[in-house]
Structures are given as structure tokens and as C-alpha cells.
Structure 1
Amino acid sequence: MRYGQSILKIINSSHEHMTAEQVFFALKEHFPAVVIATVYNNLNSLYRQGRIRKISVEGQPDRYDRITRHDHLVCCRCGKLSDIFLSDLTADLEKQVGFQIEAYDLKIQYLCPECKKKEPS
């Protein structure tokens, strides 16, 4: 995984939820010869290893995020993705389902302030 560590560093230092294309352009600044397929392959490998998170929102490209425990707000109109830090629900969920949960991905849909402003009164 020649580029894997650099891609991991890009994702972990970003304050955004980057698409593969955004990761590609950031990586290309340091490795001009890199191709987009290499970025996709490394992102998939890092995701399978549990070193990054993949966030899928219907109708939008997958985005990648650091592994730090947090959840997401997703605007149901524009797709804007924001971090939200809620208390860990693992213990409560395990109690409800009766078995151990490895991980969960909570995406809360809402209408962001920018889209809310565009709504007719």
C-alpha cells in the first residue's frame, strides 16, 4: 500500500468528509503520477481494515472520514454532512437487541440552516 499512509493522513487531518476525488487531488499535490484508481483501491483497503469510515448517502458519492467516534447530520435537501458528537449508544443498543454490537453508524436527517432559509415562509 504505497500511498495508503498518505491517504490516511489526508483523511485524518481533514475537517471535511472528503470524496475519493477530493482525496485524489490532495494526494496528487505530493504524488503527481498517482491515478484515481489507486486512490479508490487504497480507500477500499483502508475501509476494510477499519482505519477509516465510509459514509454513504443516497444520490451522492461516498465520503470518507476519520475513525474517531462520532455521528453525522445529513441535510435531506442539499446533502451537507456535518459531525455531531452524541454519547455512545452501544451499551443501550446492545441491551435492546440482546447481543454485542461491533459498531454503528448514525446519520440524522435534518434541514440545514441554508436550505431552511430557502424555504417559502
Structure 2
Amino acid sequence: MATNTTLDTLYIVNSSNRKVTLELLVGEEGQTSLTNIKLNNGSVITDLAGNFEKAEIGKNADLNGKVLRITTTIADTSKTTNLTSLTIKLSGGFLTRTYPLFKLVDSEGESVDYICNIEFFNPTL
């Protein structure tokens, strides 16, 4: 199985005041996690266990040029699977985007670091 635990991408925004939202789903069932989210140098959330419910992170016009940094450590504590996964969903910009990340660990108890950098970019400026 292929592995994908890093993300470095652009998310297209525009000049509107429409809200951009972020949602993180940590899986598979029974896995435990710890997440830190930063927008530029400001903290969005620190030491979050589990999913990050859909929340506004800013308006399109205000996000241009900023970088969202997500670091999540997932420990394989499930008795049924060694698959770890993180799904990032951004909406409210030019398009809704879903970024699935995953890794199959060798044995129960191992942990995986997921590192994601998403730069907000307005191509019309």
C-alpha cells in the first residue's frame, strides 16, 4: 500500500468576504491522535485529540498569502486495523477540496506524523 503523510499545496481563494472553513477527520476507527493547527504564526488549536469539527478559519480576502500548518500524530491503537489516516477538508474558497492522507503501520502501537502546509493564494491579485 502506498503511503502519503505530507501535504504541501495551494488553496485558491478570491477577494470576497466569504468564510473559508476547515475540517479534519482522524481515522481509522480506534486510532488516537494529537493535532496542532497554526495560521501563519497564530495558533488555531493546540493539542487537539480526535477530529477537528468544521470551523471558520478566515475570510477569502483575509487569507491570501497566509499559510495553514497542520501537524497531527496518529497512534495505531486499533485492534482491528493498522491503517492510520487523516482527511483534510477546506471549503468556501474557489473550490471545496478534500485531501486524504494515510499510512499503514507495521504493528499496533506505532505512531505516524502527518505534516501539512497549505498556502492560500488569490491568482487575481
- The answer, yes or no, to whether TM exceeds 0.5 is no
- Normalising by structure 2, we get a TM-score of 0.28
Bigger relative contact order (CA 8 A; separation at least 6):
2
Whichever structure has more helix as a proportion of its residues is 1
- Normalising by structure 1, we get a TM-score of 0.28
Whichever structure has more strand as a proportion of its residues is 2
